[in-house]
A and B are shown apart, each in its own frame.
Chain A
Amino acid sequence: MTDYRVSKLFFDLQHDPKLAAEYRADMAAVLDRYEIKPELRTALEHDDVGAIAPLVNAYLLRFYFQIRGMPQDEFIARLHALKPREGAHG
């Protein structure tokens, strides 16, 4: 199920370098403005890839964790730790 507010946050961060800088400096202040559900806010605060992945487009997820500064190898490793979709392999 897509979460619009988390998706909008990720989209805005991709498009607005000032917002991305503010997010790095004061994540809580930006999250306050997006009215994100408490459990999702916690997931964002903990960089919980597994909790966030089902809620946003996969490309936006990738952009977001680039903005968060997570190295690609770590991002991939966290994704691989999630249960693969049925039928997917490799």
Chain B
Amino acid sequence: MASLVGAFAASHGPIIARDWEVMARDHRDKLAGAFDEIGRRLAACRPDLLVVVSPDHWVNFFIDNLPAVCIGIGEEHDGPPEPFMQKVFPRQRLKGHAAFGRHLLDTALAHDFEPALSHRLKLDHGTCIPLWRIGVDAELPIVPVIVNDLEAPMPSIRRCLAWGRLLRQAIESYPEKLRIAVLGTGGLSHSIGEPTMGWIDEEFDHRCIEHFARGEEAPLAAFLTEALPRTGNGAHEIRDWVIAHAAAGSRGFELIDYFPSPPTLVGAGFASWRL
């Protein structure tokens, strides 16, 4: 049987890639240090496969066809199409894991979840900035889980917790002896393309961190359900952290680092869950 060997979360943001070489050195070092620590912990887990839970930034989907959740079940996926990514992460293809992707899809359907599926996803900066900075081995297969974090209506936090539990169930029922890690990407607070653009809501971020650290699902869900509509739109990516949280068993996490990052417009958060 497969097992969950690690669960992590890391922020992303296009400016991290676009301005990496010109960013103030101390700020870049702070970002690099946090990503490096995730990379060190991920490598220590010796994963055979990485499930990456991330939004789609209008790369695969549009409002004419917008799934709440889509599972990538292909043998391979396309690298990031954004020009600013191609200079730092010029990978045309990323290795998938069709068998586990299909098992996750089947497990979902068997438990009354109806995700979309894709045999070939384009993995945008949301997935690939963390992979780039963490230094994920090109041979490590990726199973992408794309969550609609961008366009209302979005999956409820309660449903994201259920998705996390389902992901854990799929991992533990997979017949092959695989070591599987989960990475949620995005968040914490940020505000993009709206009148509060640039706002980093540190109060929201600290309360998120407190709830994730404590672990309990009901207070986390209550807080996020109430607070998300009142903060910047980028914070909706917290759904990806919630899925990682529940996959890890909701036992709380260790914060690797948090700091507001005005140069990249995000509340930069990095975490590792207790299993």
Contact = CB atoms under 8 A, between A and B. Distances in A.
A57 B150 contact: yes
Contacts of B233: 58
Nearest to A11: B62
Interface string B77-109: 000010000000000000000000000000000
Nearest to B15: A72
Bin chain A's interface residue count: 20 to 34
Contacts of A59: 57-58, 150, 192-193
B24 interface: no
A64 B200 CA distance: 23
Given A59-B192, A62-B193, A87 B62 contact: no
Bin chain B's interface residue count: 20 to 34
Contacts of B230: 87-88
Interface in B188-237: 192-201, 229-233
Interface string A24-59: 000000000000000000000000000001000111
A88 B86 CA distance: 35
B151 interface: yes
Contacts of A83: 195
Interface of B: 57-58, 62-64, 81, 150-151, 192-201, 229-233
Given A53-B193, A59-B57, 15 more contacts: A7-B62, A53-B195, A57-B58, A57-B150, A57-B193, A58-B192, A59-B58, A59-B150, A62-B197, A75-B197, A79-B193, A79-B195, A80-B198, A84-B196, A88-B199
Interface of A: 2, 4, 7-8, 11, 14-15, 53, 57-63, 75-76, 79-80, 82-85, 87-90
